Amino acid sequence: MTTKLFYEYPVLTSCAARVISCEPAEGGFNIVLDRTVIFPEGGGQPADRGAVGGANVLDAQEKDGVVYHLCDKPLEAGSEAEVRLDFERRLDHSEQHTGEHILSGLAYKLFGAKNVGFHMAADYCTIDLDTYLGEDELALLEREANEAVRRDLPVTSENMDHERLAGITIRKKSEIVSDDIRVVYIGGGEIDSCTCCGTHCGSTGEVGYIRIGDSQKYKGGTRLWFSCGGRAVREANALLRSVTALARSYSTSREELPAAVRKQSEELSQAKRELKSRTQALCDMIAEANGDELAIEHAVGFSANDVKMLSETLISKHAKAALVFGSCGGQVFYRAARADGVKAPMNELIKAVNGLVCGKGGGSPAFAQGSAAGPLDPDTLETLRAFAVKWYNGGK
């Protein structure tokens, strides 16, 4: 068994230890010490980092009460070594973990929502609840969580055996085989109580700030993304800076920003509708003026969508088939389409056009399209026109 100093002294950042054993392992050397300040991965909390003597701790895992420190260098069994903890990383994990208890405990207390999953990553944390919580409920949960932080309630733990555990009522009892069970209480159980092997802050006040960033429906319940402590403050500051910059670019205040974005979005939709209607009017004019059975057109400023609109308009007026080119943004878009009853395979025509303009594209016998690097010079257009007419007439 390794003496786990991180439970009794959660803010201890170093200790002297004796090397019990050192064995080669995948990715380094597994070092066992008589005692340690390094928390091994468990309860959804990642393992600590740090150093043992001159070796860096890359990972730490626990098996049957023994902590295995995966290190990048071997150490001699029987030697003494100083164990040093990467405290910034630990503090971040303890803040997230304690915040998770506060949120899970309150979600259960306020809405009867049970925590069915917890994930802590380097840049995000999630809680899965078995109940769906809407925006208002999550806002209440966040408010109550920060109220618990403001009250600076104690975070305590109690070690017990199965018999004692069976006799108490707590929010969550994990399946633990050994008789060394640890129950963590937030506010003496008022906010939360559950079995847990992780590291925590000494009181809720040390968490500082709890932020619910996002949520979504998940397996009939809710997955919520949250952050706590320094992580939450950094995120909130970054968000505030982004929103302030965005508001400035809209020449408005942060408070008025949503309305300004909505207004611009409505104006954009209106402009798109107007542009489409004008492009359709232009297509109608071009199609009226073209009386050819195979209508060939080149329109400068036409995008792929505009080319589609013109080819369909040509077919709807006089043409039996249409080959339309559009030059836009340094590219050439082209599309071939035919009226009902026409046999000429448009994908064959586009295949030939691809070859003549070094483009790519394809489609079906009814219509096909492609694109190439622009611009389309008059000589190439004339070559394409002559080829298409010959091809169309030859196929009739």
CB of 227 to Zn ion, least distance (A): 16
Q: Nearest approach, Cβ of 198 to Zn ion (angstroms)?
A: 4
Q: Which of residues 230-259 bind Zn ion (CB under 5 A)?
A: none
What gap in Å lies between CA 50 and CA 126, rounded to an integer? 26
Q: Is 278 helix (H, G, I), strand (E, B) or coil?
A: helix
Distance of CA 71 to the CA centre of its chain: 32
- Tell me whether residue 185 or residue 325 sits nearer to Zn ion (CB atom): 185
Local structure of residue 187 (DSSP, 8 states) = G
| Residue 10 is a binding residue for Zn ion (CB under 5 A) | no
Out of 71, 133, 196, 314, name the contact with Zn ion by CB under 5 A.
196
For Zn ion, the closer CB: 97 or 298: 97
Shortest spacing between CB 108 and Zn ion, in angstroms: 15
Q: How many residues bind Zn ion (CB under 5 A)?
A: 4
Looking at beta carbons only, is 171 or 335 nearer to Zn ion? Answer: 171
Long-range contacts of 290-294 (CB under 8 A, 24+ apart): 290/314, 290/317, 290/318, 290/319, 291/318, 292/318, 292/319, 293/318, 293/319, 293/320, 293/321, 293/392, 294/319, 294/320, 294/321, 294/322, 294/323, 294/388, 294/389, 294/392
Candidate ranges 198-206, 245-253, 314-322, 359-367; the one touching Zn ion (CB under 5 A)? 198-206
What's the min distance (Å) between Cβ of 250 and Zn ion?
Answer: 43
| Beta-sheet strands, E only, within the chain | 3-4, 14-25, 28-33, 35-36, 50-52, 55-63, 66-71, 80-85, 115-120, 125-129, 155-160, 181-186, 192-195, 210-218, 221-228, 294-300, 321-328, 331-338, 360-363, 367-373
Among all residues, whose Cβ is closest to Zn ion?
Answer: 196
Q: From the CB of 137, what's the least distance to Zn ion, in Å?
A: 23
Binding mask 83-122 for Zn ion (x = CB under 5 A): --------------x-------------------------
Could you say whether residue 363 binds Zn ion (CB under 5 A)? no
CB of 135 to Zn ion, least distance (A): 27
Total length of the chain: 396
Which of these ranges, 137-145, 194-202, 299-307, 348-356, lies near Zn ion under the rule CB under 5 A?
A: 194-202
Among 161, 154, 170, 388, which residue's Cα sits nearest to residue 292?
Answer: 388
Minimum distance of Zn ion from residue 21's CB (angstroms): 29
Q: Which is nearer to Zn ion, 7 or 391 (CB)?
A: 7
Q: Report the candidate in 129, 133, 131 with the shortest Cα–Cα distance to residue 117.
A: 129
Contact between 198 and Zn ion (CB under 5 A)?
Answer: yes
Q: Which C-beta is closer to Zn ion: that of 168 or that of 240? A: 168
Residues at the contact surface with Zn ion, assessed by CB under 5 A: 97, 184, 196, 198
